Amino acid sequence: ARASMSSIYGMTEKYWNDTQVEDITPPQPTFRPLRPPGPQLSSTSYRPLQLFQLYFTNSVLLTIFQNTNEFAAKHMSTTDVPWTYLSVPEMLSFMALVIFMGFVRCSSIADYWKRAKLYGLPFA
């Protein structure tokens, strides 16, 4: 006698359902972490700059700096305004603004530069 494919693989017909049968979601396991959820790093151990430098090492910053200037030199050479090479301090200032703008949300880009006290942004 010839065995069906489902019996060969140890499956029975009860595992196959028609498309009309609604799926049943299995119960989700309860998450029980060994430590309390949240930051595990002592905020007194590191300064914000030190944490930034863990991810953006000198090598990473140099790569970003070089690739930005190479890309701009290649693609901006066709415009009327020539590309002025970016300096490392300018790149770091730009990255600081991008990170800050991720923390402080304004409704438009122009709002970041408003001088009204309502906004109270330190670089406006």
Q: What is the pLDDT of residue 8?
A: 55
Average pLDDT over residues 27-50: 86
Q: What is the pLDDT of residue 67?
A: 94
Q: Where are the alpha helices (DSSP H) in 2-111?
A: 5-8, 48-55, 58-75, 88-103
- Residue linked to tokens 């863990």: 54
Banded model confidence at residue 64, pLDDT cuts 50, 70, 90:
very high
- Rg over alpha carbons for the chain, rounded to the nearest Å, is 28
DSSP reduced 3-state for 78: coil
- Domain ranges across the chain: 48-119
Read off the pTM: 0.55
